[in-house]
Structure 1
């Protein structure tokens, strides 16, 4: 589930448009705010940063906008890389409507937890609450929907989640509340969004987006029936 099979960035964007769009937003906002220092972008950052005091004043958009903002380059790159690694399988499984709802829902739950438990003057930015929400959905699969995740992927999820959880409490400048409540949000949303979904398959993307005129991925195989001596043929996808 977490090994990329795409041949190019263009192909990745074609297969996973929601994940690609979110990553592009991460990069564009960071560049316009921190590198180009454009006035409108800096103003957006000021009005978009997670602020418990601002939420107390009725600025409820601050429960959403921090999910797309980051403090420094490594913060942005790490969260974007995590999304590229763990987002595609869920985007394929959930679809283009349920995936962004689940992703943002987990991030918002993480920010709500931050609002109720952190100081009124607490400020925060970052997508890590939403990304921990993805972990929550995967852990739900590992625990209660083993039909949706293979054993190797389940092991990868468990190991990385444990490492991420430990690092949450060891590293400084981490919004612990967003991580914990984002995970809880993802786990709680999982039974709703995973209902009637199929497990991830990289070949489903190939079949869905392959050019009908492209025969490079198809081989024509001929076999001979031994018992009745009849000639049979079939297509095999590779």
Structure 2
């Protein structure tokens, strides 16, 4: 389920949403290192800056989901998405995947706005990716027949490790991780709990 055996062309065809999101990550990262574009331009106009959001720049609740602070940050989030996104995109379909991903990411940024100070600045897809983990957790609870016992255990393990690392690593938006996870779980609860449990 989480082992990728497709060729590059097959991956693009089978998982268009994940492929598109990762492509956006890469393109926006390249914009931050292209010599003739000021390096900070993207961050100045689209990063999550709480002060600017309360002043009316509401697009900053959405755009930080696709921007990353450096190559390692972009690579880690994109790699996580490539590992865990395709299975969910295949299970629930492109439309629901987009809704879960973006809603969790925006919810994480709204929580960051409410809890963190106005001077707080943030970027990254982690809140949205934790939303996928949250949805998987809801699936384990409400539709466990969709996942094998081994895959369920893997998801639980990765989620627990992710939450623990949230508190152990420096410069992490803890609020985004936790509320992205919660948002994904709540979305999954709504979409899955009203169906017959399996």
> Smaller-chain TM-score range?
over 0.9
Written as runs of structure 1 = structure 2, the 5 A alignment for 1:32-181 is 32-33=31-32, 35-39=33-37, 42-181=40-179
Give the gaps of 5 or more residues in structure 2: none
**What is the distance in 1 between the residues matched to 2:126 and 2:179?**
11
- Tell me which of the two structures has the higher relative contact order, counting C-alpha pairs closer than 8 angstroms and 6 or more residues apart: 2
- From the two aligned structures, give the one with the greater helix fraction: 2
Deviation at 1:70, TM superposition (A): 0.3
8 Å Cα contact 1:29/1:41 also seen in 2? no
Structure 1 residues 124-133 or 42-51, which shifts more? Answer: 42-51
Instruction: Go from structure 1 to structure 2 and tell me whether the alpha carbon gap of 1:123 and 1:25 turns closer, same or farther (over 3 Å shift).
Output: same
- TM-score, normalising length from structure 1? 0.78
Deviation at 1:5, TM superposition (A): 2.7
Q: What secondary structure, in the 3-state scheme, does the structure 2 residue paired with 1:182 have?
A: helix
Matched residue, 1:221: none
Matched residue, 2:185: 187
**What is the distance in 2 between the residues matched to 1:114 and 1:139?**
22
- TM-score, normalising length from structure 2? 0.93
Give the gaps of 5 or more residues in structure 1: 200-238
Matched residue, 1:5: 5
| Number of residue pairs the alignment of both structures matches | 195
- From the two aligned structures, give the one with the greater strand fraction: 1
Deviation at 1:45, TM superposition (A): 2.7
Which has more radius of gyration? 1
8 Å Cα contact 1:52/1:119 also seen in 2? yes
Matched residue, 1:204: none
Deviation at 1:40, TM superposition (A): 7.5
Written as runs of structure 1 = structure 2, the 5 A alignment for 1:212-223 is none
Deviation at 1:42, TM superposition (A): 4.5
Deviation at 1:116, TM superposition (A): 0.5
- Give RMSD over aligned pairs: 1.7
**What is the distance in 2 between the residues matched to 1:26 and 1:193?**
28
